[in-house]
């Protein structure tokens, strides 16, 4: 059976020094925040392919932001850069002194995008928020996003405030990735049923290498959890520990990871384990040893089912949606996900 | 040893808890150390700390109550206007912080004066020297600085007729684990039943095939005891970070709601373990309100016997709580006993200053 592989072109743009390559390195290349000082300026466009959830590949175009490059993108390279774009991620530096000029450049980019890829999603990140005093952050961020929105023409954009020093970066990128996963509804339907069956308060699916939240479901009680940014905080926590494990077992962060984690406390029980080749599943269930063991056992059984499906060529094991979307490319040879 | 009987009795009962005195020249990093270790401040935020102008007294309530006194660097406490008895007259440790990135001759001279004054009257106080801010120094320069400072201090002390001074040295930085490691060592000397704890942990570790085991104070992430196998920094880092993981996750999911009900029986103490990509297992078990036991397990046979590990850890927990309730009873009977025991541990490992 053929697997329909999705390649999505993602443009990463913004003024020089706004932090595009830094965030890309942290999310996709396992850098830690303080390592990004080593990065130099991006010259022209750096292409990278990020395999995300098996059948989705992000084709990331990190576009150097110096004025000279920006001009060529808009002039001679216009067709090359802006055609077939699935997502434009535009990064604004909150500390920029030339806000008006930044917005003009942004408007020009939006104009080019409208011409070549009118259906693209646009995400704007207001970056380096850590440099603003905490009590003013929300207000300044909102003012800036309103300005950005007013210059976005017909595109309905999503804005995120972000900083590489806390979990806000994970929130922004999880939001972006969430929009790109082709079979998301199928996955979510499965998770809903599954969470109900094992009586979980919350089930979260994390992508394996980036630890970004793919999707999550919560029960009625789980929904009452007062901590709204818990998913991105979890990404941050687990990724930090992954770095620690890599450092202390003498391996690269890319190859470090968790096989399984069990946590039992008087208030809740948590299970984290590999689910499909590219995902971790994170279960939160109420305390109770027997119920917890049951939930873990059921997760293992579900995992087996998925790996069988994966072996038969169903991408990541999750069923794919009906093949009707026009931008899906057919892969030539059947592709197994090489699970162990 | 010849403690004047008056000294012990003058210590009021509430002052009987051990005291850590943080001293050193101004801007050497004393308050930063206290904030990072005891108040969980992220290291990069210590840049904004104001300079300390008066003695900051901090009471730490944990498995064992102790006080941390942070002294302003410019304070001349050796002047007669200060009551030495008030400062040093309690069992504890003097932690002297030296900025290794700065010219340290002044600091060393002052430390020597302090040691010579203090040891006449209070020979029981442990002198701990933190050669601090070494994160900015190269490996080689670090070793040279260390040697130089040790040499300077011991030479001058022996010139003054004080041979083999019980001074211990540590290379520290708030940007890595070294300051926690150093504080662990400092605190351990103040624990009356350290050897009992170490024996217990050794027995547990041998029976369960643990590679390395630490008994951590959860709040400060200081370890108060470990098995006596050689220190392995990588195990320590992973254990310490794993506590963070569990504490952070607990913060996210421990919210209270009347509809959140347990679905069955479960132990009241938290238990967690993780298996890493290279099959290393880290096992964590809550011991009481303050302490948790964290072990690194690499032996494949040991890992299969998870039930045995859990059971042995529970047994250890009972023994541990026995030890502590005993020592609390003793504390109430009179602080003299604790004091003599403290001395024994101090002299038990002389010259471990490398």
User: How many helices (H) and strands (E) in chain A?
Assistant: 9, 12
- pLDDT greater than 80 at residue A325: no
Dihedral (Cα; A245, A251, A252, A255), 10-degree rounding? -80
Q: How far apart are CA A314 and CA A336, in angstroms?
A: 8
Model confidence band, residue A17 (pLDDT cutoffs 50, 70, 90)? confident
Interatomic CA distance for residues A141 and A246, integer angstroms: 35
Instruction: Decide if B352 is inside a domain.
Output: no
Residues from chain A that touch B273, judged by Cβ atoms under 8 A, are 261-262
pLDDT-based confidence at residue B330 (cuts at 50, 70, 90)? low
Is B234 part of a structural domain of the chain? yes
CA pair distance A15, A70, nearest whole angstrom: 9
> Cα separation of B191 and B194, whole Å?
6
B248 against B92, higher pLDDT: B248
With the C-alpha atoms ordered A71, A76, A80, A85, is the resulting torsion angle positive or negative? positive
B328 vs chain A: nearest CA distance in angstroms?
A: 27
Residues of A in contact with B250 (CB under 8 A): 265, 267
3-state percent helix, strand, coil for chain A, nearest multiple of 5: 40, 25, 35
Which residues make Cβ contacts (< 8 Å) with residue B229, sequence separation at least 6? B205, B211, B212
Burial A270-298 (b: 16+ CB within 10 A, else e): bbbbbbbbbbbbbbbbbbbeebbebbbee
User: In this structure, are B225 and B114 located in the same domain?
Assistant: no
Predicted pLDDT of residue A280: 92
**pLDDT range class, residue B116, cuts 50, 70, 90:** confident
**Is the pLDDT assigned to residue A288 strictly greater than 60?**
yes
Give mean pLDDT, residues B130-156. Answer: 91
Highest mean pLDDT: which of A195-204, B38-47, B320-329? Answer: A195-204
The nearest alpha carbon in chain B to A219 belongs to: B260
Question: Domain coordinates of chain A in residue numbers?
Answer: 5-177, 183-310
Chain B nearest CA to A193, separation (Å): 20
Choose, out of B243, B260, B265, B313, the residue to mutate when testing the contact with A (most A CBs < 10 Å): B260
| pLDDT at res. B162 | 82
Mean pLDDT for the stretch of residues B285-290: 90
Q: Would you call B272 and A261 a contact, using CB atoms and an 8 Å cutoff?
A: yes
pLDDT value of residue A168: 87
Instruction: Please report the beta strands in chain A, taking only residues with DSSP state E, as ranges in sequence order.
Output: 4-14, 45-52, 56-63, 85-93, 121-127, 157-161, 202-207, 213-218, 258-264, 269-274, 279-285, 329-330
**For range A168-190, the mean pLDDT:** 84
Q: Residue A122: pLDDT above 60?
A: yes
pLDDT of residue A38: 81
Rounded mean pLDDT of chain B? 82
How much is the average pLDDT of A254-263?
90
Residues B198 and B184 in one domain: no
* C-beta of residue B305 within 8 angstroms of C-beta of residue B291: no
Residues B46 and B127 in one domain: yes
The fold adopted by the segment(s) A183-310 is Beta-Lactamase (3.30.450)
Pairing verdict, β A85-93 and A157-161? unpaired
Tell whether the model's pLDDT for residue A100 goes beyond 60. yes
Flag whether B148 is in a domain: yes
From the list B237, B259, B265, the residue facing A289 with the nearest CB is B265
Determine contact, residues B132/B100, Cβ cutoff 8 Å. Answer: yes
In sequence order, which residues have a C-beta less than 8 Å from that of residue A73 and are 6 or more positions away? A13, A63, A81, A82, A109, A112
Alpha carbon distance, N-terminus to C-terminus of chain A:
20
Are B177 and B250 in the same domain? no
Domain that holds residue B171: 19-190
| Sequence-ordered alpha helix ranges (H) in chain B | 5-10, 30-39, 84-88, 105-121, 139-159, 178-188, 194-208, 233-253, 300-304, 306-333, 335-348
**Tokens (6 digits) for B333:** 């009977």
- Looking at the predicted structure, is the pLDDT value of residue B352 above 50? no
Within 183-242 of A, beta carbons closer than 8 Å to B belong to 199, 201, 221, 224-227, 230, 233-234, 237-238, 240-241
Beta bridge partners of A329: A5
Give me the pLDDT at residue B333, please.
Answer: 52
Report yes or no for ipTM above 0.95: no
Instruction: Quote the CA–CA distance of A185 and A191 in Å, as a whole number.
Output: 10
User: CA-based angle B237:B238:B242, to the nearest 5?
Assistant: 120
Q: Does B349 fall in a domain?
A: no
For residue B262, being part of any structural domain is answered with no
In angstroms, rounded to a whole number, what is the distance separating the alpha carbons of residues B173 and A316?
45
| B184/B220 same-domain check | no
Q: What digits encode the pLDDT tens for the residues A307-316?
A: 777 666 555 5
Do B184 and B280 have their domain in common? Answer: no
| Rounded CA separation B129/B169 (Å) | 5
Q: How many CB atoms lie within 10 A of CB A210?
A: 22
For residues B174 and B32, give the distance between their C-alpha atoms in angstroms, rounded to a whole number: 8
A260 with A302: CB under 8 angstroms? no
Mark whether B295 and B308 lie in a shared domain: yes
Q: How confident is the model at residue B348 (pLDDT cuts 50, 70, 90)?
A: very low
Please report whether residue B47 resides in a domain: yes
**A237:B249 CB<8 A:** yes
Residue B8 belongs to some domain of the structure: no
B211 and B94: one domain? no
The residue whose two tokens read 């012990």 is: B8
DSSP per residue, B306-337: HHHHHHHHHHHHHHHHHHHHHHHHHHHH-HHH
Of B190, B211, B239, the position where a domain reaches its end is B190
A89 closest CA partner among A115, A47, A117, A61? A61
| Cα–Cα dist B246/B216, whole Å | 13
Same domain membership, residue B183 and residue B200: no
CATH of A5-177, one of 2.40.33.20, 3.40.50.720, 3.90.1170.50, 3.40.50.300: 3.40.50.300
Is A35 part of the contact surface with chain B (CB cutoff 8 Å)? no
Chain B positions touching A260 (Cβ under 8 A) are 274-275
Average pLDDT, chain A: 83
Residues A56 and A329: beta-carbon distance below 8 Å: no
Q: Which among B93, B97, B45, B40 is positioned nearest to B68, based on CA atoms? A: B93
pLDDT above 50: residue B342: no
Residue B354 placed within a domain: no
Q: Quick check: A263 and B249 CB within 8 A? A: yes
CA atoms of B199 and B196, how far apart (whole Å): 5
Structural domain count of chain B = 2
- Euclidean distance between CA atoms A198 and A173, whole angstroms: 29
Residues B125 and B274 in one domain: no
CATH number of the domain encompassing residue B78:
3.40.50.300
Nearest partner of A248 among B271, B240, B229, B173, judged by Cα: B240
Cβ–Cβ gap B277/A290 under 8 Å: no
Instruction: Name the nearest CA neighbour of B281 among B301, B249, B303.
Output: B303
Pair B139, B278 in one domain: no
Q: What is the pLDDT of residues B239-281, one digit of tens each?
A: 999 999 999 999 999 888 888 888 888 888 899 999 999 999 9
Pair (B183, B109) in one structural domain: yes
For residue A253, is pLDDT > 50?
A: yes
């Amino acid at each position: 059976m053929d697997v329909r592989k999705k390649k999505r072109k993602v443009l990463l743009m913004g003024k020089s020094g706004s932090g595009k390559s830094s965030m890309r390195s942290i999310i996709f290349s396992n850098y830690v925040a303080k390592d990004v000082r080593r990065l130099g300026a991006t010259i022209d466009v750096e292409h990278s392919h990020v395999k995300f959830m098996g059948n989705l590949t992000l084709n990331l175009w990190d576009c150097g932001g110096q004025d000279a490059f920006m001009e060529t993108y808009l002039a001679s390279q216009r067709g090359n850069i802006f055609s077939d774009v699935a997502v434009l991620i535009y990064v604004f530096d909150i500390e920029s002194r030339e806000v008006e000029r930044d917005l003009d450049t942004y408007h020009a980019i939006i104009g080019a995008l409208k011409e070549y890829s009118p259906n693209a999603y646009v995400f704007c990140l207001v970056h380096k928020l850590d440099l603003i005093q905490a009590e003013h952050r929300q207000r300044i961020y909102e003012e800036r996003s309103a300005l950005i929105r007013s210059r976005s023409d017909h595109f309905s954009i999503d804005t995120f405030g972000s900083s590489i020093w806390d979990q806000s970066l994970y929130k922004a990128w999880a939001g972006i990735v969430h929009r790109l996963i082709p079979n998301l509804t199928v996955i979510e339907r499965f998770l809903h049923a599954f969470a109900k069956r094992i009586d979980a308060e919350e089930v979260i699916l994390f992508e394996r290498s980036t630890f970004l939240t793919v999707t999550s479901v919560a029960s009625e009680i789980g929904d009452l959890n007062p901590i709204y940014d818990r998913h991105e905080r979890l990404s941050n926590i687990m990724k930090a520990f992954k770095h620690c494990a890599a450092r202390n077992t003498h391996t690269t962060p890319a190859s470090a990871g968790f096989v399984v984690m069990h946590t039992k406390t008087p208030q809740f029980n948590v299970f984290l384990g590999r689910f499909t080749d590219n995902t971790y599943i994170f279960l939160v269930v109420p305390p109770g040893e027997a119920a917890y063991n049951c939930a873990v056992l059921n997760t293992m059984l579900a995992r087996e089912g998925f790996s069988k499906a994966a072996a038969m060529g169903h991408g990541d094991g999750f069923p794919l949606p009906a093949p009707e979307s026009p931008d899906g490319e057919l892969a030539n040879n059947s592709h197994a996900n090489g699970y162990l | 040893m010849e403690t004047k009987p008056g000294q012990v009795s003058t210590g009021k009962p509430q002052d009987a808890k051990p005291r850590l005195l943080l001293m050193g020249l101004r801007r050497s990093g004393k308050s930063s150390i206290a904030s990072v270790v005891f108040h969980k401040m992220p290291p990069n935020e210590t840049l904004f700390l104001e300079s300390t102008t008066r003695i900051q007294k901090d009471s730490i309530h944990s498995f064992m109550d102790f006080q941390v006194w942070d002294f302003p660097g410019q304070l001349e406490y050796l002047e007669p206007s200060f009551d030495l008895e008030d400062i040093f007259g309690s069992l504890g440790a003097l932690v002297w912080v030296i900025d290794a990135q700065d010219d340290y001759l002044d600091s060393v001279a002052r430390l020597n004066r302090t040691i010579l004054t203090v040891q006449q009257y209070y020979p029981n106080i442990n002198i701990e020297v933190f050669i601090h801010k070494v994160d900015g120094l190269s490996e080689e320069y670090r070793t040279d600085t260390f040697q130089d400072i040790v040499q300077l201090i011991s030479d001058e002390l022996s010139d003054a007729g004080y041979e083999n001074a019980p001074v211990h040295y540590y290379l520290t930085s708030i940007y890595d684990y070294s300051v926690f490691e150093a504080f662990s060592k400092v605190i351990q000397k103040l624990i009356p039943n350290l050897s009992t704890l170490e024996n217990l942990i050794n027995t547990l570790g041998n029976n369960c095939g643990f590679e390395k085991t630490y008994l951590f104070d959860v709040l400060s992430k200081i370890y108060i005891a470990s098995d006596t196998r050689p220190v392995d920094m990588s195990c320590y880092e992973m254990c310490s970070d794993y506590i963070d993981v569990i504490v952070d996750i607990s913060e996210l999911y421990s919210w209270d709601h009347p509809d959140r009900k347990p679905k069955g029986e479960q132990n009241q103490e938290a238990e967690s373990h993780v298996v890493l990509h290279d099959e290393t297992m880290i096992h964590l078990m809550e011991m009481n309100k303050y302490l948790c036991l964290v072990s690194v397990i690499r032996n494949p046979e040991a890992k299969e016997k998870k039930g045995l590990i859990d059971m042995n850890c529970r047994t250890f927990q009972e023994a541990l709580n026995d030890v502590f309730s005993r020592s609390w009873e003793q504390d109430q009977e009179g602080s003299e006993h604790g004091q003599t025991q403290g001395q024994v541990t101090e002299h038990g490992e002389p010259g471990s200053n490398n």
